[in-house]
Each structure stands twice: as C-alpha cells, then as structure tokens.
Structure 1
Amino acid sequence: MKTTTSLLLCLGMASSALGQQPGLTITASIKDLPADQWVYYREMGGNDQRDSVKTEAGGFSMSVPIAAGEGNTYLISIGRNYQDPNSTLLLYLDQGTLTINGDGPRFKDADLSGSPWVEAYNDFNAAIRSEEMIAINKKMGELRSKQDTAALKALQPEYAGAAAEREEKIVQWIKAHPASPISAWAIRMNLQQRDVGEQEQLLNAVHETAKDNIPARDLARRIAGTKATAVGQPAPEFTQNDPEGRPVSLRDFRGQYVLIDFWASWCVPCRKENPHVVAAYEKFKDKNFTVLGVSLDNPGKKADWLAAIEKDGLPWTHVSDLQGWNNAASRLYAVSAIPANFLVDPDGKIVAKNLRGKALEQTLSEILDK
C-alpha cells in the first residue's frame, strides 16, 4: 500500500514469540538510493544512534534491538536531513521484520511489508485516510509559504471539520479492533485532545495482551497523571535540584500560591510566553505569589538552560533533572506539551492549570486581589 510521507506513521502489533528472534530486522530496497550514507534510528524522546551499517547502492539492512513488550515509536533517517520529509520515516517498531520497498527518492511513497503488525498498520492507515485532509493540508502549506494569514484563518473551519471526521474514523477503528496494540497506540498518538475519561474508556476496552508496549503504558500513566492533577486535586509532590545542585521541593512553597511552570530553553512557544509570566510575577510577587520553573532541557544542556533564564530575566526558583521529556516532575504531572503550568494554593491544592497570556494575570487577580 502506498502512502504519502506526511502520513507514513507505521503502527505496530506485538509479534508472536514463536519462531521469532529477538529484536527487529529492517531491510530496504529503494531505487537509485546512493551507497555510503549512514542510516540512523531514534526512539521517540531519545538521541541519535548510528547503526553499524551504511546504505549500499539501492538499499540497506539494519537491526534494532527491541525487547518483548518494548515496542515504541521510532524515527528512521537516511542521513540527518530532517527537513526533507523523504529522508525520514516515523514508525512504531516492534519485534519481527520490516521490509521497505520504493522507487524513491529515498522513502517517498514507500511500500511496507513484513511482520503482522505491518499489515495491521496498512489496514489502519487505509481506514483513516482522508483525501479532504490531504488536500486541505496541501492548500495550507501553500498559504503559509505566501504568509497569507487571512486565507489561513478562513480555512480553519474547513480544516477543523475534516480533522473531526478523521478523528471519528480513528475512534471507530479502535472500537472495532480491541485485540490490536495499534488501538492503544492510536489513542496515545491521535486522541490526546479528547476528554481524559473518553481516552480511559477506550483504553480499558483494549485487550490486556494488546497493551504490552510502551505507548499503551505511557498512555495509562498519562491518564492517571491527568486525573491526579485535575483542578481540586492535591498537587503531587516532587523534588529536583536547582542550578547550584541544591534540592528544591514543592512542599517548600506551602503557605504561598505557586505557579509550577514547565518550560525549556529550546521551546519557542515557552520563550514567547515567558514575558507574560514575568509580568504576572512582578505584579503579584508581593501578594503571596511566586513561580517554580521546571525545565525540560536535555542532558548536557545545562548551559542552554541557564542562558535562557538569564536572557529572559526569570527571577524565580528554577529546577531541572536535565532529562528532557523524561523529566520526572513533568511525567508525574502528565505534561505532554509545553509550556504547561499548574497554579497551587497555599494548602497544596491545584486551583487552575494551563493559564496563558492575559489569562494568568486575570486568574491571579481574581484570587489575590480579594
């Protein structure tokens, strides 16, 4: 089955342990693919890893060490030209075999075959394919290149309608395939904006044997975390080090209103939001309010974190374990996108969350100006 690169999300099913060797073997046959180019694979949220092979003329083969029950989403790239959509594939990889065949260039319109999870992916992709969405996305890309913001805004209702229709197809496929691990993956990757109760209901309907992969376990954790950090719930306690290596705990702020602000130096929307947080801090810092910044900066990037604090003029307390998206506090709070924040009252209860721009000052004014 042919797919466009923009929709080439390979979903996986846990393969049978009978007769299978551990890990995944990938074999690619691609017309006119040049030799001597490194092929990289990266687990979602991880770092580049170079396999021990390069491309040969017309293809490559590689092994990815995946243990049973550890299937996850990966990026496979020929070279590191991530701006070229034909050079990358975003796939859910699991144990077994994956064969990639195409006429090129590189991964463009590639055929996927191999283990049963590949066929399951093909079925899912065919079921949710939307020609309307493809056409709208193409049109939006053209409008962005022309910087036609008015036309883009006018196209939003049409896009929203097509997206809702595609989302409903995803839901129906999930309900019809409770024994497929693809169902858990699809909830995790495509339905995060849906009500957490609906996500939980869909996940509970998936068979236990079909939830033996990382996305399913991550989804369960996120659902539990979202419920635990709902407005009215006690804020989960955590401790991380400040830039000087001193441990700072959320409980240290008891008796104050504290905004737990999840951000990172590499996050452009976070940096754009920082002036609003600074303005709110300066306005209310003398009214029993402060901020606790939690950075999702990556390993080895402490200098970037500190430089961003200084450049953006962020005078409050900062902590991080420098583990990127694996930051322990962000996982505890089920943070899936940044910036994200949680307003905690003096008793340690969450009273608001995800306050942006003027909404932050307005909410603080309603609470603190009484």
Structure 2
Amino acid sequence: MKKTLLPLLLLAAAPLLGQAQAPAQFTIKGQLGKIAARSKVFLYDREKGYLDSAEVKNGAFVLKGTVAEPAQVTLQLLNNGNRYRLRTGQADNVVLYLEKGTINLQSPDSLGRATVTGTPLNNDYRQLQALTKPIQSQFEALYAAYRATPKEQRTPEFMQQSDEQNEALRQIISQQYAAFIGTHPSSVVSLDLVKEMGLPVPDYTKVAPLFALLAPAVQGSPAGQRYAAELAILKTVSVGAVAPDFTLPTPEGKAVALSSLRGQYVLIDFWANWCGPCREENPNVIKAYNTYKGRNFTVLGVSLDEAKARANWLKAIADDQLPWTQVANPRGGENEAVKRYHIQAIPQNFLIDPQGIIVATNLRGAELQTTLAQLLK
C-alpha cells in the first residue's frame, strides 16, 4: 500500500491556529407531539458527559448555551420523571451538532423521529443519514441476528459468515462515507466521518488519504489538529513502517524482545482473557499457526490482562490451547507494547516480515489464512 503524506497546508495555516476562537452561541428549540407529562430532555457529549437539560412543557422545550468549537452531541428524551442515563440503549434520542445558530426539532411523538433543521452542520448530518439509512438498517438486522444466536451456536463457520456479511456492509458504507467527504470537504461532519472510519481500530493507510481530502480550515481546526496528531502516531505502526521493538515477560518470567524473533514472520496478537471477540478469533489463529509454524512463521501473544487477572490469563491460555509464546505486563493496558502500537481496542494484530517491517494489520478470519498463503508459498 502506498503511503500518504499529510498536506503541508497545515503548516501554512499554523500562525492562525493558536488564536482563540470566540464561543459560539446556540439555541435548540423543540416541538414534540404526544409526549408524557413530566418529560425532560438531556444533552450530553460523548467525551464530556452531561451538558444540560430542560423540561418539556406542552411539547415544547428550549436549550441555550455556547460552544468553543462545533461538537456532535446527543439529545435524549426521558418520560415520566425518569432519571438521565448516559447509556442510550433503546432510549429516545437524536444526534445533533452544536454550532452558532438556532437548531429546530419537530416531531409528532418522539425525538428519534424528529425533523432537524436550522444550521449548516445539522443539515449536512441529515443528508448523511438519508444516504446511509438503507445500509444502517442492514447493519442493525445483522447485529440482531448475532445477538439472537446462542453462544454455543457461534461456531467458527458462523463467525466467519457473520464477519463476511459485516465486512461487505462496511465496504459499502465506507464508500458512501468517502463520497460524502469528497463532496463536503469543508464540513466538520466529514472530519467526524474520517474518525469513525478509523474505529474501533484505525488503519492509517485508509484514514490518512481521507483526512487529506478535507479543506485546510477543517484540518487546521482544533479537532483537526488533534486528529492530525493521532495520525502521526498511527503512521509509526502502519504498513511499511519498522515494527517498534518491545520487551515483556512470559508467564515464567522470561523476558522476550520482539527483535529476538527477527528473521521470521511474526503475528503480534494483542488480546486479553476478558475480550470475547479475541477468544472467538483464537481458533482461527491456531489454525494459521499449525499450518505455517514450520514455514518461518510464529505468533507472539501480548495480553492486556493486569496482574490481578493473572490466573484468568493463564486459564484462558490453557482453555483455548494457545501454543505460541505469550507475554504480558502487570500494568495490563499500560504496558510498553500497548503504548508503542497505539492500542485502543482489541483484538488487534500486526504481521511483521523477517526484516522487521509491518506488512499487514488486523487480519481476521479467512484474510489471515489468505495473506499467509501468499507470503509463505
């Protein structure tokens, strides 16, 4: 895969970026229909949590405030005096963008069905929702089917089929997101899409080119600068980069350095005993290991388990019959490897070639088998 350099336009804009931005005043006006008495709306931010609330009187409410920069938030409606809760679940809510101006919501009966108008970013977001609604519905149906399947019936074949269906939908929605970004380069919504396309495990080779499509003003915004800094870190562990070395102990206390495995292909597998998806993927990794272990290939398991979970870690190794070298650190997720590889979610893996270069990342299911078959002919 080719590397993509971040635009030098950021440097040209640098003198302006340090200037403080005046807070923008926003107003949210809602008019709802069939709403129970004693209802309230709660506004919260994914990172900051609770922001504000207001009572709904005769179906109407108003929220006012200021924001230092545009922000995506969730507005939640709770009926009959129920208390606010951050976890939305099946709650009645709607996603909004806080920015300068008045945001209008109208609905016959719920926030989830509200029509949102009034400011540029909210108009952009409604366009995106209309574009992706059919695929989002398919995602929801696939997830519902997965949840409805008992764990004992989630066989490797079932998981592979689910992964393939999920990946097919992800490919379609990724194309839709990329198209939206291309036609809305000056929208903060597009920046949020670039971030979302990097979840739960960001791939620098995919998100950096999309970030490059954004207008200089969006790249140079506070949120854009923060994400550019993340990309700079991700680049150090992207395909084509030299794999950062680290040293961690095995269960027996032997120190193992990644560099000591140089000369063969190594799959660095980040996992933990409490990670369900990691455990479900283990049979596939075992299959790959048994197929190629005699052909210049090995696996190095790096656990995020903490010292207090040592017994559970060892039990998971035994229960899943993992034959390759395992290492961990008493500090769990704070270990050296986790920091150097920018691990924010698991399962996650990196395939390193005999020269210590990262040649692939996050190989799952059949893709792991196919990649190894091509490299180890």
| CA 1:96–1:332: 2 relative to 1, 3 Å | farther
Quick check: 1:108 aligned with 2:108? no
Task: Give how far 1:113 is off.
Answer: 3.9
| Structure 1 letter corresponding to 2:219 | K
Within 5 Å, which residues of 2 pair with 1:50-69? Answer: 50=50, 53=53, 58=59, 67-68=68-69
1:41-90 CA distance string (max 9 Å, x none): 352xx5x844575755657667888544xx55555555356431x43445
**1:338, CA displacement in angstroms?**
3.5
1:342 maps onto 2:346 in alignment: no
Other structure's SS at 1:235 match: coil
1:317 equivalent in alignment to 2:318: no
Question: Any conservation in 1 of the 2:300–2:326 contact (CA below 8 Å)?
Answer: yes
The offset of 1:263, in angstroms, is 3.0
Distance (Å, rounded) in 1 between the aligned partners of 2:332 and 2:64: 29
Q: Is the 8 A contact 1:34 1:55 kept in 2?
A: no
Q: Residue 240 and residue 172 in structure 1: after superposition, are their counterparts in 2 closer, same or farther (change >3 A)? A: same
How many angstroms apart in 2 are the aligned matches of 1:25 and 1:241? 55
* Shift, 1:235, TM fit: 0.6
The CA deviation string for residues 253-300 of structure 1, in whole angstroms up to 9 with x for no partner, is 667865322234554221212344467779959x894524153x8xxx
| TM-score, normalised by the number of residues in structure 1 | 0.59
1:290-318 Cα offsets, whole Å, 9 max, x none, are 524153x8xxx875686355335367112
Change (3 A) 1:210 1:138: closer
Checking the alignment, whether the CA contact within 8 Å between 2:267 and 2:299 is kept in structure 1 is: yes
Conservation of the 8 A alpha-carbon contact between 2:271 and 2:301: no
Deviation at 1:103, TM superposition (A): 3.3
> Cα deviations across residues 161-186 of structure 1 (Å, max 9, x unaligned)?
9973x655544433333322222223
Q: 1:323 and 1:64, CA in 2 relative to 1: closer, same or farther beyond 3 A? A: farther
Amino acid at match of 1:186: L
- Cα contact 2:29–2:63 (8 A) shared by 1: yes
Deviates more, 1:92-101 or 1:114-123: 92-101
* Shift in alpha-carbon separation, 1:118–1:204, aligned structure 2, 3 A: same
Could you tell me the TM-score, scaled by structure 2's length? Answer: 0.58
Is the 1:235–1:348 Cα contact (8 Å) retained in structure 2? yes
SS of 2:328's partner is strand
**Match of residue 182 from structure 2:** 175
Q: Distance in 1 between matches of 2:28 and 2:338?
A: 34
CA distance in 2, matches of 1:247, 1:256: 19
Equivalent residue number for residue 14 of structure 2: none
2-structure distance, mates of 1:265, 1:160: 29
Aligned partners of 1:240 and 1:321 also within 8 Å: no
Q: 1-side partners of 2:373 and 2:314: how far apart?
A: 25
The number of residues matched between the two structures is: 330
Of 79, 89, 92, 1:87 maps to: 92
Amino acid at match of 2:316: K
Long gaps (5+) in structure 2 = 1-19, 77-83, 150-156
- Distance in 2 between residues matched to 1:214 and 1:330, nearest whole Å: 26
What secondary structure sits across from 2:44 in the alignment? strand
Does 1:41 find its partner at 2:51?
no
Aligned-CA RMSD value: 5.7
Distance 1:199 1:343 in 2: 20
CA change 1:173–1:273 in 2 (3 A) is closer
Equivalent in 204, 211, 231 of residue 203 of structure 1: 211
**Contact 1:238–1:329 at 8 Å: present in 2 too?**
yes
Measured at CA, do residues 206 and 279 of structure 1 come closer, stay the same or move farther in structure 2, by a change above 3 Å? Answer: closer
Q: Report the counterpart of residue 118 of structure 1 in structure 2.
A: 122
Superposition pairs of residues 242-257 of structure 1, within 5 angstroms: none
